[in-house]
Structure 1
Amino acid sequence: MNTPELRHLKMAWIAAKESGDTRAQMRLLQEHPTQQDELIDFIAGYQATGGNEPIDPQVSLLPLTERALNSALERVFDMDPAFATLTELRKSRSLSKIETAKGLRLSVDVWNKFESGAIELVSLSQRQLERLAQFFQVSIEQFSGSLTESQPAITLNRRQTREAARHAQQGPHKQSFSDAIARSTMSKEDQQFWLE
Structure 2
Amino acid sequence: MNTPELRQLKMAWIAAKEAGDRETQLRLIQDHPAHQDELIEFIAGYQAIGGAEEVDQHAELLPVTQRALESALKQVFKPQSSFATLSELRKSLKLSKMDTAQGLRLSVDVWNKFENGAIELVSLSRLQLERLSQFFHVSAEQFGTLLNGSQPAISMNRRQTREAASNAEQGPQKQSFSEAIARSAMSKEDQQFWLK
Structure 1 position 142 matched with structure 2 position 145? no
Larger radius of gyration: 2
Identity of aligned residues (%): 64
Could you say if the C-alpha distance between residues 164 and 32 of structure 1 is closer, same or farther in structure 2, counting changes exceeding 3 Å? same
> Any unmatched runs of 5+ in structure 1?
1-26, 43-73
How far off its partner does 1:136 sit?
A: 0.9
Give 1:104 deviation, angstroms: 0.2
CA distance in 2 between partners of 1:195 and 1:139 (Å) = 21
Among 16, 22, 30, which residue is 2:57 paired with? Answer: 30
Report the TM-score when normalising by structure 2: 0.62
Equivalent position of 2:74 in the other structure? 77
Q: Within 2, Cα distance between the matches of 1:181 and 1:28?
A: 56
Deviation at 1:171, TM superposition (A): 1.3
1:152 positional shift: 2.6
2:74 aligned partner, one-letter code: F
- Against the structure 1 CA distance between its residues 91 and 30, is the aligned structure 2 distance closer, same or farther, given a 3 Å change threshold? same
TM-score, normalised on structure 1? 0.62
The answer for unaligned runs of 5 or more in structure 2 is: 1-53
Q: CA–CA distance in 2 between the matches of 1:120 and 1:28?
A: 53
Deviations 1:87-106, CA, capped at 9 Å, x for gaps: 11111111100000000000
Aligned to 1:191: 191
Give the structure 1 partner of residue 111 of structure 2. 111
Distance 1:125 1:32, change over 3 A: farther
- Spell out the pairing of 1:30-49 with structure 2 (5 A cutoff): 30=57, 38=66
SS of aligned partner of 2:110: helix
Q: Kindly state the Cα deviation for residue 181 of structure 1 after the two structures are TM-superposed.
A: 0.5
Tell me the C-alpha RMSD between the 2 structures: 2.9
Which residue in the other structure is 1:99 paired with? 99
Instruction: Give the total of aligned pairs.
Output: 138
Compared CA separation, residues 172 and 31, structure 1 to 2 (3 A): same
**1 CA distance for matches of 2:126 and 2:173?**
23
Alignment partners' CA distance in 1, 2:95 and 2:79: 17
Query: 1:137-174: CA deviations, max 9, x gaps?
Result: 11111111111111132222211111211111111111
Structure 1 distance, partners of 2:167, 2:96, is: 30
